[in-house]
A and B are shown apart, each in its own frame.
Chain A
Amino acid sequence: MIGVISYLVFFATVASILSIAVLGLNLQWGNTGLFNGGVVAFFGAGAYGTLILGGTPQAGQMGGFELPYLIALLGGMVISGIVAWVVGLLTLRLRHDYLAIATFGVAVAFETVMRNSDWLGGAQGIRGFERPLRDALGNGFSYNLAFLAFVLVVLIGIYLFLERLIASPFGRLLRAIREDETAARSLGKSPSRIRLTAFVAGSVIMGLAGGLYATFYAFISPQDVLPILTFQIWAMLIVGGAGNNKGAVMGTFLIWAAWTASGWALSRFAPMDVQLYTGSIQFVLIGLVIVGMLMWRPQGLFPEKLVVSQSAKDK
């Protein structure tokens, strides 16, 4: 029994962390219409940044500054934001699929650089992170429960932040730019600045998710920032409902459950020679989910609400 609960805590922690990344993508794609095909680059920048800032020194590697946990997380977000700002300046003039291709390229470049830079861990990745409060909580179940609680607090905080943001004139402006940039310009708005703001803000949130992820495992490597993670995060948003934060979180839990269950089922029930291809089959499945959803229910399970930012009659 404790094994099942223990697993559920683990599952909920990873799903909550991924939810944060999906919320970041929702700000970019769902609200602003920015087709970020390189989610893992910003997730990864936060993950690497946080471990470098908060980890213990390792021979031949940069970092190990052992900064306090929250500072390291914040630092990871800042690094992710800087990367996003530079990438945004270079690519945000592109639209739709062109932006997706460019950002996808950025993410692949990011992974390649990490894999080939020994001072950033190389293919082995970065280890060496002292989990905060370990002395007080021990290393077992209670620690994992406490970490889940912390992740949930962060998730709720981000959720409330975004809900408030999209219900404001800022959110209205994002949606208008998504719907019709030319019309928005003709009404006195300057879309390029707002697109960059939304891109950086969404990426900072992804970076926060990356920082939580890396510190949860006390490890990050190029294997964690492969393009498949971008597609998983996209599938979560599309299934849940782009433009709807609740949908983004629900979609994450649903897809992460389906992903985990399919991996388990394949390794348990599939014939031995098929099992070798478990990963590849899962890739195909995630692609099918994205395509199927776009064909039959493009608005997702929780469609965007129509009336968002026209302020309650009299508050």
Chain B
Amino acid sequence: MASMADPLLRIRNISKDFGEFRAVNDVSIDIRTGAITGLIGPNGAGKTTLFNVLTGMLKPTSGTVHLDGQDVTGFAPDALFGLGLGRTFQIPRPFARMSVLENVMLAPMAQLGERLWGPFLEAAKMRDQEATIRKRAMEVLEFVTLAPLADQAAGQISGGQMKLLELARILMGDPKLILLDEPAAGVNPTLTKTLIEKIEELNRDGKTFVIIEHDMDFVMQHCDPVIALAEGRKVFEGTAEDAQSNTVLLDAYLGAQVE
């Protein structure tokens, strides 16, 4: 096992340009193993762009990303999921016309039946594997409190339930690092509470989180450390307490509010 001092995710000098516009500017962050890191900043600060670079949806213009000591800069999202990095989306992306259970059963990697001939040539083995996956999927749905909705269309459940569903999906891959993009946005308070409980429980079991969130109460209560971006740059890194008294940070937020 890597020592606690080694960061699980090591981000060095990441920049991302869209034409003339530099969305992320020379950002370096160490994500500590076992932490719940809060990523805050006004709209347009580059948080989601940074997430998309970290998860392989965008290639960085420059800089490097190491996951657990391995250079994963520019890796594709599917490869990164395989290496233990799971992410959810700001606007949930359920497989709408599939059942909630099928959404979750999809996620495990390298299923025998995913090949064209699997269901015919390896039928017996595939059925065994399916039974295992189904059982595990129901456990995970139970955990995120969605088990009663297993047979519902994923497009028909509430926005908050979709966020729990996205969490359930990535848990099937048993990720080391989970990136959540605004998990509490647009979610009713009861479901937010459920979500927070689940995050903390998973964190106690050793999962590392990075969470983008605008809800300051959420960040101050549950995240440590807190990192702030503004106009693509990292402007703050420290504890939640320090963040509340930091003038640069207050400026960044005030600046956003004038906008």
Contact = CB atoms under 8 A, between A and B. Distances in A.
Interface of A: 161, 164-165, 167-170, 172-173, 175-176, 179-180, 182-190, 194, 197, 201, 243, 304, 306-311, 313-315
B78 A185 contact: yes
Given A183-B95, A188-B82, A306-B98, A169 B77 contact: no
Contacts of A197: 116
B119 A170 contact: yes
Interface residues of B, number: 44
Given A180-B93, A186-B170, 5 more contacts: A164-B120, A169-B105, A173-B114, A183-B94, A307-B99
B97 A175 contact: yes
B93 A170 contact: no
Contact of B99 (A165, A188, A306): A306
B99 to A, nearest CB: 5
A307 B113 CA distance: 17
Contacts of B185: none
A175 B81 contact: no
A152 B233 CA distance: 66
Interface in B71-98: 76-78, 81-82, 86-87, 89, 93-98
A188 B103 CA distance: 13
A183 B93 contact: yes
Nearest to A161: B120
A145 B240 CA distance: 80
Q: List the 9 closest A-B pairs by CB distance, nearest first.
A: A169-B113, A168-B119, A188-B81, A179-B95, A183-B93, A168-B113, A311-B130, A169-B111, A185-B77
A33 to B, nearest CB: 10
B95 A170 contact: no
Contact of A187 (B97, B106, B127, B131): B106
Given A165-B116, A175-B95, A306-B99, A187 B81 contact: yes
Contact of A168 (B77, B98, B126, B131): B126
Nearest to A166: B119
Chain A CB within 10 Å, residue with most, of B55, B76, B87, B115: B115
A301 B155 CA distance: 21
